[in-house]
Amino acid sequence: MEYLTSYCTDVGISKKTNQDALLIKIADSSKGKIAFAAVCDGMGGLKKGELASAEVIRRMSDWFDFEFGEMLFRGFDGEQLKRRWDEIVMEENEKLAAYGKCSDIQLGTTLSAILIVDSQYYIVHIGDSRIYEVTDQVFQLTTDQTVTAREVAKGTMTEEQARTDARRNVLLQCIGASALLEPEYKTGAAKCNAVYLLCTDGFRHEIGNNEIWDYFAPDKLKDVQIMEDHQIFLTNLVKERMEQDNITVALLRTY
């Protein structure tokens, strides 16, 4: 499987700093090309959100650069990957919490990451950033860990009500500001001629699934320049619709 990659991140219309962070990495291996991507959204209402997101992205990047090759050499195992990711997430949660306590501040970040290896995807997810799979339809692979998503799942709120509810940004957990973390882990068959879209909530709040498909359907993303153009167009559209948060979107297009 081969990949085209592209990303766009924007401070948005109201904030002074961009508290989002991301990574995209492509590597050759004995199992063919491997793709790894992640997005983090530092908590907008908490101090030092940009530090939290950058720290977790750095840690995930170091894992891929210095540990994952050895994991492949010894024989890749999805359960082993889950255990290692779990260790990293818990370590980062403790590290950020300790830093916040010593500095008398509160900080935290979401994390949504996807690894594609040997035609399988592996996801770790905490918070309300999202990962989508775009083929002939748009499918959300992650579950929002928010108060409103929980209420929708319970049947006490509709999707339409959740979009405008004042609690739509209230997280149930995040790295650095939660005493107990329960990451979501998912795996499945990675599809050829598909787009794996990662984004922070600042991007998807004002963009619907129909617009995601209109601009990010695989057949419409023939090269990196088109990918970049479409990302910039939708980012500007989000700003025109007066989204107040930072905006980040990353794309992995398989072929």
We report the CATH number of the domain holding residue 250 as: 3.60.40.10
Is residue 80 one of the residues assigned to a domain? yes
Q: What is the mean pLDDT of residues 19-47?
A: 91
**Cα 148 to Cα 110, 171, 236, distances in angstroms:** 16, 9, 26
Q: How far is CA 162 from the centre of its chain?
A: 20
Q: Which residue has the tokens 């010593």?
A: 102
Give the residue numbers spanning the domain of 239: 3-141+173-254
As a whole-number percent, the residues of the chain with pLDDT over 90 amount to 84
Q: Which tokens belong to 125?
A: 């997810």
Beta-bridged to residue 20, according to DSSP, are 41
Please answer whether residues 179 and 93 qualify as being in contact, where contact means their C-beta atoms are separated by less than 8 angstroms.
no
The region of weakest confidence among 51-65, 127-141, 148-162, 204-218 is 148-162
pTM for the model stands at 0.95
Residue 181 has pLDDT above 90, yes or no: yes
Separation CA 19–CA 102 (nearest Å): 21
What distance in Å separates the CA atoms of residue 92 and residue 59, rounded to the nearest whole number?
8
How many domains, the chain?
1
Q: Please determine, for residue 45, whether its predicted confidence score (pLDDT) is greater than 70.
A: no
Residue 200 in any domain: the answer is yes
- In sequence order, which residues have a C-beta less than 8 Å from that of residue 10 and are 6 or more positions away? 18, 235, 239, 246, 247, 248
pLDDT tens, residue by residue, 60-117: 999 999 999 999 989 889 999 999 999 999 999 999 999 999 988 889 999 999 999 9
Residue 133, in any domain of the structure: yes
Average pLDDT over residues 9-19: 96
Residue 152 included in any domain: no
